[in-house]
Every structure is written in C-alpha cells, then in structure tokens.
Amino acid sequence: MSQPVEHMTPPAAPSKGASAVDFLVLTKPRITLLVVLTTLVGYWTGRTGPTDVALLANTLIGTALVAAAASALNQFAERRLDAAMRRTARRPLPAGRLEPHVAFAFGVVLWAIGAAWLRLTVNALAAFLAIATAASYLLAYTPLKRVTSLATVVGAVPGAIPPMIGWAAARNSLDAGAWVLFLIVFLWQMPHFLAIAALFRKDYEAAGFRMLPVVEPEGSSTGRQAALYALALIPVSLMPAFLGMAGRPYFIGALLVGVAFLATAVHFMASPSEPARARRLFRISLLYLPAVLGLLVAA
C-alpha cells in the first residue's frame, strides 16, 4: 500500500552543504536539454528564411530558463514524495542539502527571468507558450499524479509544447506544422513514460503516485496503451512529408523507426510486468525521438 504523505519520513534537516551542483540537479538537466532540443527543432523546421542566430539563441535561453524553473518548483512541491522513493531520495531537497524556501525562490526567479527574456527578445506568443508549459506541468500534472493514472496523458501536453515555442519564435504563429510537431512529441511520450512507470512501479506506489502500472499491477492496460500510442505515432510522424516539411528520405526513415518502435511496444505488451521488456522499450524510446527529429532537421 502507498504511504500517506503525512506519515512519510520527513526529509533530512537542511544543511549548509548546498553546492552549485545541487542547484543544477534541481533543474533536471536532462529534461531541460530535451526541452531545448525539441525547441530547436521547432525553430529550425518553422523558419522561413535564413537562420536568425540571435533570435534562436534567445529562444533557447528563455525556454531553458522556464523549463529549469518548472523542474525546480516540481521538486519543491514533491520533496516529501521524493523522499519516499529510492531513485529520488538523494535529490537536494529530500536529502536536506537545500532549504525548501531557497529552492522555491530559485524556481520563481528562473521562471520570471525566462518568461521576460522570451517576451522581450523573441515574441509574446513564445513567452505565452513557455508560461503555459510550466503552469500546466506544475498546476495540472504534478497534483494529478496522486489522483489519477490519466496524469500521464495530462503531463504529456506540457512535454509536447516546446517545439511549438520554437515554431512560434520563427513565425510568430502556430501553423499546421507546429501542431504536427506537438503530436509527434505527445504520442512519443506515452510509451516512454509507461515504460518508466513499469520499471519504477514500486517507487511510485511508495510515494502514492497513481501511475497506470500501480493502479493495475498485472499490466495489461499499460502494455496495450503503449502499443496503441506507438501505432498512432506512425501516421502522425509521416505527416511532415505530406505538409511539405520533409521529403521522401524522411518519410522512409520515419516509417522504419516507427515500425521498430511499435514492434518494441508490442513486445512489451506481451509481458508488461517483465522489467527487461520495459527497459527495452524505454531504451528504444530514447533512440526513436532523436532519430525522427534528426531526420526532420536534415530534410
């Protein structure tokens, strides 16, 4: 059974041992890097002329700041829950290396600077999208994780907005191409996160997170949903070729990697409670997105 928050072991008493590395960990660098890369792809595919290096740099800087802020504030909000999970217990807040109010202030300042940076150096639409991304992540996805397994679907929305920020920076509008990029990243996230949830089911259960593998430990719905989302991803990933965003090489490459991703998801569906299959799906998901986005950038 999951442990109620009020009965969990509280985080260690804050110490004065915080370092620059702790603040870096607070920003979840790998997630922030993914956000920056998908934003870059959005700008690159959305541009209509020569690359404006200054505009691109300002877009990536502002987006990275807002993404880092969202991660920091998420860790602030979930510090007691993180203390209940082995894979997150050594983060700066549950381990007591940072004061909660310091982490909160750090996140708020990053958010304000990032949003202002985008508004002043890019455009209002890009700034709005970045603010909406962080707000939906913190105010919808984060609290819903302890309420319903549908939180994963909700969380995939802010995760898919960054390429739209890049597109908005390039065009100051959201055309069909921006929504296709959104759908590609949105659909990709579902098998990716379901594999993670299956791998760390016991951790999520201990923290009271109602991930699908926690709600249904035998895993049939988890496996079925992973396969269905991977299947839906194939036609959506081919849409750039029909919208004139890419040509035949992209179409062929996206189809091949999409089929490989689907085959891995189907393999996972056959035995979703088997860690080796979940781990394989997770690893293939890490290869799929860079492959498709790389093909799109090269188109």
> From residue 297, how far is each of 166, 168, 211, 293 by CA, in Å?
13, 17, 34, 6
* Each residue's pLDDT tens digit, 159-202: 999 999 999 999 999 999 999 999 999 999 999 999 999 999 99
CA distance 113 to 107: 10
Give ∠ CA 125-127-131 in degrees, rounded to 5.
Answer: 115
Fold type of domain 175-299: Four Helix Bundle (Hemerythrin (Met), subunit A) (1.20.120)
Fold type of domain 20-173: Tetracycline Repressor; domain 2 (1.10.357)
* Each residue's pLDDT tens digit, 24-64: 999 999 999 999 999 999 999 999 999 999 999 999 999 99
Ordered by start, the domain boundaries in the chain are 20-173, 175-299
Neighbour-count burial of 86, counting CB atoms closer than 10 A to its CB (0-12 exposed, 13-18 middle, 19+ buried): exposed
DSSP string, 67-135: HHHHHHHHHHHTHHHHHTSTTTTTSTTTTTSS-HHHHHHHHHHHHHHHHHHHHHHT-HHHHHHHHHHHH
Quote the pTM value: 0.90
* Each residue's pLDDT tens digit, 127-164: 999 999 999 999 999 999 999 999 999 999 999 999 99
- In this predicted structure, the answer to whether residue 15 has a pLDDT above a threshold of 70 is no
pLDDT at res. 115: 97
pLDDT at res. 16: 53
